[in-house]
Amino acid sequence: MLLIAYRQAGSVREAIAGALAQTYSPLEIVISDDASGDDTWAQIEAATAGYAGPHTVVLNRNERNLGIGAHLSRLVERSRGELLFVAAGDDVSLPQRVETVVAAWLASGKRLDLIASAMTDIDAAGTSHGLIVPSDLQDWRTLDDWAAKPPFVVGAAQAWTRRLFDRYGPLPAGTVAEDLVMVFRAIAGGGALTLREPLVRYRRGGISRRVRNLHARDVVARLLKNNRHALVETEQLLRDGAVAGASATVRATLEAQLARERFVSELFGVHGAVDRLRVVWRADAVPAALRLRLWCYAQLPGLFAPFFALKRALAKATS
């Protein structure tokens, strides 16, 4: 189990307690702080001090912040198991999580490369708000299925085989949506499965929190935040597709995604109406309607003022 934490001093002890309570054995638990600036590391040390249970516990503290993808890749290198469970410092794995997933993996003859599960949605206080159930990943049998309609996934309740890293290599720095990349790899290999039983208490926060776009600037900020990691991840998917021998359809889908992300990066990276028009004109691989809409956000955000004023009024009326 790879438990990664960053600035989660208030929740990491609960996450560690969930890891240490796992009923499966033998289990190696690698707990790592990604150079947090708060008391996360102190909380990790306190939560594991004197542990004398059945599991092997390994602590790691990065000297500098690596980000999600590179952090996980470092822990993969420092761990030994065949099956790798992701755990975040603000989520809680239920005691039967590893045992249940390992049983499903063994039942497949170790064929499956990724197993996900449902999650209980909790808030910052730990109050439950129903279930989150990812797509039934067993329905995606080929990368062409993925290209036709990518599945809904959440990395907080995933387990992967080490062979996915052996075949495709580490996740690159800048990767945030590691779950998308790992599901792609699994579908290209031994396949994936979703268990309907909730095995993780998933605390929404950070990049997974619900964000309401109440101004044009909110849309732009979210677009650019997603764009930074989408560029990295889409390029990685193209490389992984080449390794997997993906079809022309899959490659075309990924190349279209990459063209869009490069367009967004270039459009918002220049200043001045003329330069932005040049970017719009050159991006002929991106649908014209999308180019026009994003140009308006970049150059004429005031056009959207009436729409967002109405949206704010509705939000206030329903709050």
Tell me the pLDDT tens digit for each residue of 197-226: 999 999 875 434 455 667 888 889 999 999
Mean pLDDT over each residue of the chain, to the nearest integer: 93
- Check which CATH number belongs to the domain holding 125 and give it: 3.90.550.10
pLDDT classification of 316: cutoffs 50, 70, 90: confident
What integer is the mean pLDDT of 186-197?
Answer: 97
156-182 pLDDT, tens per residue?
Answer: 999 999 999 999 999 999 999 999 999
Structural domain span for residue 232: 216-318
**pLDDT tens-place string over residues 271-289:** 999 999 999 999 999 999 9
Last residue of a domain, one of 176, 208, 240: 208
Same domain, 157 and 246: no
What is the percent of the chain where pLDDT is above 90? 85
Helix, strand, coil shares, percent, the chain, to 5: 50, 15, 30
Please give the structure tokens belonging to residue 32: 């790592």
Both 172 and 312 in one domain: the answer is: no
Task: Specify whether 237 is located in the same domain as 184.
Answer: no
Q: Are residues 18 and 95 in the same domain?
A: yes
Q: How many domains does the chain have?
A: 2
Q: Are residues 65 and 146 in the same domain?
A: yes
The residues, any chain, with a CB within 8 Å of residue 240's CB and separated by 6 or more, are 168, 181, 184, 185, 188
Distance CA 236, CA 227 (A): 14
Q: In this structure, are residues 164 and 186 in contact, taking their beta carbons and an 8 Å threshold?
A: yes
Instruction: Find all residues with CB under 8 Å of 106, minimum gap 6, and list them.
Output: none
Grouping H, G, I as helix, E, B as strand and the rest as coil, residue 5 is strand
Task: State the CB neighbour count (10 A cutoff) for residue 180.
Answer: 21
Structure-token pair, residue 241: 């597709």
User: Cα–Cα distance between 114 and 135 in angstroms, integer?
Assistant: 13
Rounded CA separation 83/185 (Å) = 15
The verdict on 42 and 108 lying in the same domain is yes
Q: Measured between alpha carbons, how far is 86 from 159 in angstroms, rounded to an integer?
A: 6
- Is residue 63 domain-shared with residue 185, that is, in the same domain? yes
pLDDT value of residue 285:
94
Domain match, 152 and 72 both: yes
Residue ending a domain, among 173, 208, 243, is 208
Max Cα distance, the chain (Å): 66
Q: Domain boundary residue among 208, 231, 264? A: 208
What are the φ/ψ torsions at residue 225 (nearest 5 degrees)? Answer: -60, -45
Strand duo 2-5 + 28-33: pairing: parallel
User: Which one-letter DSSP state was computed for residue 162?
Assistant: T
Q: Pull the structure tokens for residue 109.
A: 């003859």
In this structure, of 57-61, 132-136, 217-221, 294-298, the range with the lowest mean pLDDT score is 217-221
Pair of tokens at residue 57: 């516990």
Cα(134)–Cα(116) distance, rounded to whole angstroms? 8
CA distance 273 to 281: 12
Q: Is 277 left (phi over 0), alpha (psi -120 to 50) or beta?
A: alpha
Query: Are 271 and 149 within one domain?
Result: no
**190 and 220 part of one domain:** no
Q: Which residues contact 280 (CB under 8 A, 6 or more apart)?
A: 267, 291, 292, 295
Same domain for 147 and 53, yes or no, is yes
HEC sequence for 246-308: CCHHHHHHHHHHHHHHHHHHHHHHCCCHHHHHHHHHHCCCCCHHHHHHHHHHHHCHHHHHHHH
Q: Which residues pair with 202 in a beta bridge?
A: 121
- Looking at the chain, the whole-number percentage of residues with pLDDT higher than 70 is 97
Same-domain pairing of 175 and 225: no
